[in-house]
Amino acid sequence: MLEDFSRRRAYNAAADFVDANVERGFANKVAFTDADRSITYGELQAATFRFAAALRALDVRPEERVVLLLHDTVDYPVAFWGMIRAGVVAIPVNTFLNTEQYAYLLADSRAGFQRSDSHWHDARCKACRVVSPRGYFNRGLRRYTLS
């Protein structure tokens, strides 16, 4: 599985920003931290491979657009770099928008999926369900990231 994503393209930014730190001996160094937990470069690397595999299992194809609507937690770099590793176009979205703004951004981006925190499955996220033709996913991917 590891080699599969590494060989997908001649260049992948996840190799420079995640894998290179592991190769430099920083696997046990903290890469990101939030109010609840931290993640090391080694854990981040493993989590991004699992996230990329989860995207493939959901039939998200390389170069497909995926909206990323997350708070500033360690889940954010896992999702972002997992998308990059999978060859997916990550579209980070501001968490302070209203329903109409989300609907506009989703339609304008032509994203087929969106990755969000459970918090966003309120009235605002109705726009996500309406606009995204291929659906949305949420905590189901958590098992592919940090657990």
Domains by residue range for the chain, with CATH: 2-145 (3.40.50.12780)
| Distance, CA of 82 to CA of 71 (rounded, Å) | 16
Q: Assess whether pLDDT exceeds 80 at residue 74.
A: yes
pLDDT one-digit tens code per residue, 6-29 = 555 568 999 999 999 999 999 999
> Would you say 133 and 61 are in contact if contact means Cβ atoms under 8 Å apart?
no
> Rounded to two decimals, what is the model's pTM?
0.74
Of 58, 78, 53, 57, give the one whose Cα is nearest residue 68: 78
Give the pLDDT score at 57. 81
Q: What percent of the chain has pLDDT over 70?
A: 69
Q: Cα(18)–Cα(12) distance, rounded to whole angstroms? A: 10
Reported confidence tier of residue 146, pLDDT bands at 50, 70, 90: very low
Helices vs. strands in the chain: H and E counts, helices first:
8, 5
| Summary mean pLDDT of the chain | 75
pLDDT tens digits for 108-129? Answer: 877 765 555 554 444 444 444 4
Q: Give all strands (DSSP E) within the chain, no chain letters.
A: 30-33, 38-40, 65-69, 89-92, 113-116
Task: Report CA torsion sign: 116, 110, 91, 5.
Answer: positive
Grouping H, G, I as helix, E, B as strand and the rest as coil, residue 56 is helix
Q: Region 32-61: what's the mean pLDDT?
A: 90
